[in-house]
Amino acid sequence: MDADPADQPRADAQALAVVQFAPHTDIDANLAALTERVRAAADQGARIVVAPEYSMFALGRLDERVHAAAQPIDGPFVTALARLAADTGVHLVAGVVETTTPDDGRIHNTLVVLGPDGALVTHYRKVHLYDAFGQRESDIVRPGPLTEPPVFTAAGLTFGLQTCFDLRFPEGFRRLAAAGAQVLLLPAQWIPGPGKVDQWATLLRARAIENTVYLAAADHCGPRGAGHSMIVDPAGRIVSELADEPGIALAPLEPELLDKVRRTNPSLSLRRFTVSAP
List the catalytic residues.
Answer: 53, 126, 164
Burial of residue 173 (CB within 10 Å: 0-12, 13-18, 19+) is buried
- Taking alpha carbons only, the member of 108, 134, 248 closest to residue 191 is 134
Burial of residue 43 (CB within 10 Å: 0-12, 13-18, 19+) is exposed
DSSP 8-state code for residue 10: P
Spatial separation of the C-alpha atoms in residues 181 and 88, rounded to whole Å? 24
Spatial separation of the C-alpha atoms in residues 82 and 240, rounded to whole Å? 26
Exposure string over 131-142, b if 16+ CB within 10 A, otherwise e: eeeebebeebbb
